[in-house]
Structure 1
Amino acid sequence: MFHFNKKFIDVKDHSISKESFELFEDSEYELLKTNPFPVLSELGKYYESEDYISHTDGSRNLFEKVYQTVKKKTLNDKISWIKSFKKSTISILDIGCGTGDFLFRTKEEGWNVFGFEPNEKAKAISKSKNINLIDDLDSYQKHSFDVITMWHVLEHVPDLDKQIKQIKTLLKPDGLLIIAVPNYKSYDASFYKSDWAAYDVPRHLWHFSKTSIKKIFQNYQMQLIHIKPMYFDSFYVSLLSEKYRSGKMNLLRAFYIGVISNLKGKSTKEYSSHVYFLENLK
Structure 2
Amino acid sequence: MSHTIHFNECPACGSTAISTVMPVKDHSVSGENFNLTECASCTFRFTQDMPDAATIGPYYKSEDYISHTNTSKGLINSLYQKVRRRTLKQKRKLVCRHTGLQTGRLLDIGAGIGAFANEMQSNGWDTTCLEPDPDARKLAVSLFKLNPGTPDQLFSLAPASFDAITMWHVLEHVHDLHTYLDQLKKLLKPGGKIFIAVPNYTSLDARSYKDFWAAYDVPRHLWHFSPASMQTLMQKHQITLKTVKPMWYDSFYVSMLSSKYKNGKTNLFGAVWTGWWSNVGALFNTRKCSSVIYIGE
In which range does the TM-score fall when normalised by the shorter chain? over 0.9
Q: Report if the CA contact (8 A) 1:94-1:148 is conserved.
A: yes
Alpha-carbon deviations, 1:183-214, whole Å to 9, x = none? Answer: 00000000000000000000000000111111
| Superposition deviation, residue 139 in structure 1 | 1.4
For 1:66, the aligned partner's letter is: L
Aligned equivalents of 1:185, 1:87: Cα separation in 2: 31
Query: Which of 15, 25, 32 is the aligned partner of 2:38?
Result: 25
For 1:271, the aligned partner's letter is: C
Aligned equivalents of 1:222, 1:259: Cα separation in 2: 32
| Superposition deviation, residue 268 in structure 1 | 4.4
Aligned position for 2:255 = 238
Aligned equivalents of 1:28, 1:176: Cα separation in 2: 28
Q: Write out aligned runs for 1:74-223 (5 A).
A: 74-88=87-101, 89-128=103-142, 129-135=144-150, 136-223=153-240
What TM-score do the two structures reach when normalised by structure 1? 0.96
- Give yes or no for the alignment of 1:277 onto 2:283: no
| Superposition deviation, residue 133 in structure 1 | 2.1
For 1:126, the aligned partner's letter is: A
| Superposition deviation, residue 114 in structure 1 | 1.0
Aligned position for 1:225 = 242
Alpha-carbon deviations, 1:12-57, whole Å to 9, x = none? Answer: 1011100001111112221101011212221101001122111012
Q: Report if the CA contact (8 A) 1:97-1:103 is conserved.
A: yes
Q: Report if the CA contact (8 A) 1:98-1:126 is conserved.
A: yes
Aligned position for 1:46 = 59
Greater CA drift, 69-78 or 130-139: 130-139
Q: Secondary structure at the match of 2:55?
A: helix
Aligned position for 2:8 = none
Aligned equivalents of 1:201, 1:82: Cα separation in 2: 29
Aligned equivalents of 2:215, 2:138: Cα separation in 1: 26
Alpha-carbon deviations, 1:41-74, whole Å to 9, x = none? Answer: 2110100112211101211221111010111111
For 2:94, the aligned partner's letter is: W
Q: How many residues align?
A: 279
Aligned equivalents of 2:18, 2:176: Cα separation in 1: 19
Greater CA drift, 77-86 or 181-190: 77-86
Alpha-carbon deviations, 1:214-272, whole Å to 9, x = none? Answer: 11111111100011111110100000001000110111111111111111222344010
Aligned equivalents of 1:85, 1:50: Cα separation in 2: 35
Segments of structure 2 that go 5 or more residues without pairing to the other structure are 1-12
Q: Secondary structure at the match of 1:18?
A: coil
Q: Write out aligned runs for 1:227-266 (5 A).
A: 227-266=244-283
| Superposition deviation, residue 10 in structure 1 | 1.5
Greater CA drift, 8-17 or 148-157: 8-17
Aligned position for 2:79 = 66
Q: Secondary structure at the match of 1:265?
A: helix
Q: Secondary structure at the match of 1:227?
A: strand
Q: Report if the CA contact (8 A) 1:234-1:262 is conserved.
A: yes
Aligned equivalents of 1:29, 1:127: Cα separation in 2: 41
Aligned equivalents of 2:51, 2:171: Cα separation in 1: 16
Segments of structure 1 that go 5 or more residues without pairing to the other structure are none
| Superposition deviation, residue 180 in structure 1 | 0.5
Q: Report if the CA contact (8 A) 1:29-1:216 is conserved.
A: no
Q: Secondary structure at the match of 1:222?
A: coil
What TM-score do the two structures reach when normalised by structure 2? 0.91
Q: Report if the CA contact (8 A) 2:99-2:192 is conserved.
A: no
Aligned equivalents of 2:108, 2:195: Cα separation in 1: 9
Q: Report if the CA contact (8 A) 1:113-1:132 is conserved.
A: no
For 2:219, the aligned partner's letter is: P
Residue identity (%): 44
